[in-house]
Amino acid sequence: MIRNATKTTVLRALRTRAVSRGYASLAEKTFPNEPTAPAVATAIPGPTGKEKIAALNKVFDSAATTFMVDYEKSNGNYIVDADGNTLLDCYAQIASIPLGYNNPTLIEAAKDSKTISALVNRPASGNFPSTNYAEQISGLLKYAPKGMTEVWPGLSGSDANELAFKAAFIYQAAKKRGNADFTPEELESCMRNEAPGSKPFAIMSFETAFHGRLMASLSCTRSKPIHKLDIPAFHWPKAPFPQLKYPLDQNVEYNTAEEKRCLEEVEKLIKGWESPVAAVIVEPIQSEGGDNHASPNFFKGLRDVTKKHGVLLIVDEVQTGVGATGKMWAHEHWGLDGDGLPDLVTFSKKAQSAGYFFRDPAIRPTLAYRQFNTWCGDPAHIMITNAIFREVAENNLPAKAQEVGDYLYKGLTAIQSETGKISRVRGKGQGTFIAFDLASGAQRDQFVVNMRSLGVLVGGTGAQGIRLRPGLLFEEKHAKIFLDTVKKALEQSKA
């Protein structure tokens, strides 16, 4: 105990000196008033929170409300609830706050006259783009995945994926049609939602995938029945996703065979499905369905088999994108190149706007008004995206997420060995994109509650998992609080 106290004192002194000499960490420089520890004084939600939830529930379905947030008081990695409880946020609005609460760089971007103008003069950018739209779009492309040369903006992850599906359908139909015109039968039948005008194309996805909740994206989502029950769906194929053993580097033989089995099934489905597969959509890490990983070899194999059959590969980086995996885009871990790069990459969440990137000019429809809608993006949010991408790249935040991730992974595997209460720690080498399992769904739910009352906010994933989804200014000092709290919460769960 004495040794620990001494160590803590020394570390504190060092940090203070570092700050006073200008060696403050980026989080410290960005959030000079960030709390130094969680502070919980009431139940969460507390009395004020409960009152506010009841009021909200009268006008807006609040069945899923965890707690009400005072966003103006939240600061950096700390979220403050309606009762003034201050929690270390390792979930970040379902993995969507990139740079902490009230980041001054983003506040500056929000106050920019171009952002204000985009909010009050919301443009129909397909017909009447702003004179600065090229600059905004180019700002996205500057930090786009390797090889990507164009972007089509959308409004959410579901929207981005469905826009990418439309691009894939139009591309595949054009490829088949060549330079021929639409036939009279096509023009007429599509108005009845029938072939040959309405094409019976399919999008293939994977078991336990999550790609959104609108009707076509939901048809690709295979995470939980509650997402899908009662909603009409397209009859599209579902391939098995590798069920790997962790740690990955200690189960290479088993995992290689499992990935091979899945790729064979992918090819079988492409060849044998009742309708032509226009594209395969895949997450680099299945993020809602349990944080399921696969190796770069699996994804390379997937690229090979899609290319072999003329099927487009859509990489859904909605949750994995923008730095948290240790790379700006998670699929950069796969080492793809040239013609082997993905055809389309979708983004949202931490980008704070949405859309799909692509690299082959043939993905752009040759006629106007095929990929089109009133707003064609949301420049107010795109202004924020520009500030986020710049901040992430200029401060090399993916590399910092890798450092903190290594520290977290090491800490969690130690807890796994010491307590035996958590298992399948996963995400090694994938930045802070780390998960682990509890012994059951019920124990997981209890663990989330325990963590919250100890002042740390985490999210569940899959049937019994916990996922870490902090922002990119989550540093070692925050990670240390997280790990200490995990130990405490696991001790509580014994009692």
Using the minimum distance from each CB to a second copy, give the nearer residue, 36 or 193. 193
Q: Does residue 316 carry a catalytic annotation?
A: yes
CB 26 → a second copy: shortest distance, Å? Answer: 17
The DSSP 8-state label assigned to residue 378 in this structure reads -
CB 174 → a second copy: shortest distance, Å? Answer: 8
The DSSP 8-state label assigned to residue 40 in this structure reads -
Which among 349, 350, 400, 477 is annotated as catalytic?
Answer: 349
Residue 405's identity, in one-letter code, is: G
Is the separation of the CB atoms in 123 and 375 below 8 Å? yes
CB 461 → a second copy: shortest distance, Å? Answer: 14
CB 47 → a second copy: shortest distance, Å? Answer: 13
Using the minimum distance from each CB to a second copy, give the nearer residue, 137 or 456. 137
Q: How far apart are CA 280 and CA 93, in angstroms?
A: 28
What are the residues whose beta carbons fall under 8 Å from the beta carbon of 205, sequence distance 6 or more? Answer: 211, 220, 221, 222, 236, 238, 239, 280, 281, 282
Q: How far apart are CA 347 and CA 314, in angstroms?
A: 11
Using the minimum distance from each CB to a second copy, give the nearer residue, 65 or 395. 65
Cis peptide before 247 (omega within 30 of 0): yes
Which among 210, 298, 299, 347 is annotated as catalytic?
Answer: 210
Which among 89, 159, 316, 437 is annotated as catalytic?
Answer: 316
CB 168 → a second copy: shortest distance, Å? Answer: 10
Using the minimum distance from each CB to a second copy, give the nearer residue, 411 or 460. 460
Using the minimum distance from each CB to a second copy, give the nearer residue, 124 or 399. 124
**How many CB atoms within 10 Å of residue 249?**
10
Is the separation of the CB atoms in 277 and 169 below 8 Å? no
CA distances to 26, 37, 312, 340 from 307, rounded to whole Å, are 43, 51, 7, 8
Q: How far apart are CA 16 and CA 289, in angstroms?
A: 42
Which among 6, 9, 183, 374 is annotated as catalytic?
Answer: 374
Q: How far apart are CA 106 and CA 139, in angstroms?
A: 15
Q: Does residue 433 carry a catalytic annotation?
A: no
Which residues are the active-site residues? 210, 316, 349, 374
